[in-house]
Amino acid sequence: MQRVVILGRGGAGKSTFARRFGEAFGFPVIELDKHFWQPGLVPLPEDDWMKVQQDLANQPRWVMDGDLGPYDVLPVRLSAADTVLLLDFPMWLCLWRALRRGGERWDFWWWLITWRWLERPKIRGLLAEHPLVGVHTFQSPKELDQFLSKLTSA
């Protein structure tokens, strides 16, 4: 694992886990929200977003967290990645975490609620187009913690 993409609905803990993973293995952590959202939470135009991702992915090793739902251009990251960690946590957990965090746009809430039915199938379809990328799916934070523990003890 040298180039890791972390995906999942809002509130799943992608950024938090990316930092833990980066610290454990000395990987640079790239939080995609910081590169995608312009002031006022305006999304970056698609062509610009593709270029930014390509530039970020040029590093030899990294962990990138972020799932931008309908705004995303995921194939750029998948083409550079060797591993995807898919956080498929229950909606209630993600909703609770996101509510505690607050400050989200209305379309964030729609994306969070509909992620499993609208976005996850798109992600799975794109992953099928990148068969060399190792995919690990987690149903709970406990499973994710166990995965990291196994990696760090190996």
Predicted confidence (pLDDT) per residue in 97-114, tens digit? 999 988 788 899 999 999
Query: Does residue 136 have a pLDDT over 90?
Result: yes
Query: Does residue 62 have a pLDDT over 80?
Result: yes
For the chain, report the end-to-end CA distance as a whole number of angstroms: 13
Strands (E), 80-133: 83-87
For residues 97 and 58, give the distance between their C-alpha atoms in angstroms, rounded to a whole number: 32
**29 contacts 63 by C-beta, under 8 angstroms:** yes
**61 contacts 3 by C-beta, under 8 angstroms:** yes
Query: Does residue 154 have a pLDDT over 90?
Result: no
Selection from 18, 116, 110, 128 nearest residue 71 by Cα: 110
| Whole-prediction pTM | 0.95
What's the mean pLDDT in 116-139? 96
For residues 85 and 12, give the distance between their C-alpha atoms in angstroms, rounded to a whole number: 12
Query: Does residue 41 have a pLDDT over 90?
Result: no
- Name the pLDDT band for 148 (thresholds 50, 70, 90): very high
pLDDT at residue 76, as a whole number: 95
Q: Which domains does the chain have, with CATH numbers?
A: 3-153 (3.40.50.300)
What rounded mean pLDDT belongs to the chain? Answer: 95
**61 contacts 21 by C-beta, under 8 angstroms:** no
Query: Does residue 90 have a pLDDT over 90?
Result: yes
Would you state the structure tokens that stand for residue 153, as one six-digit string? 């003890």
Query: Does residue 75 have a pLDDT over 90?
Result: yes
Q: At what angle do helices 106-114 and 91-101 cross, to 10 degrees?
A: 160
Selection from 30, 25, 87, 34 nearest residue 64 by Cα: 30
pLDDT at residue 105, as a whole number: 86
- Name the pLDDT band for 140 (thresholds 50, 70, 90): very high
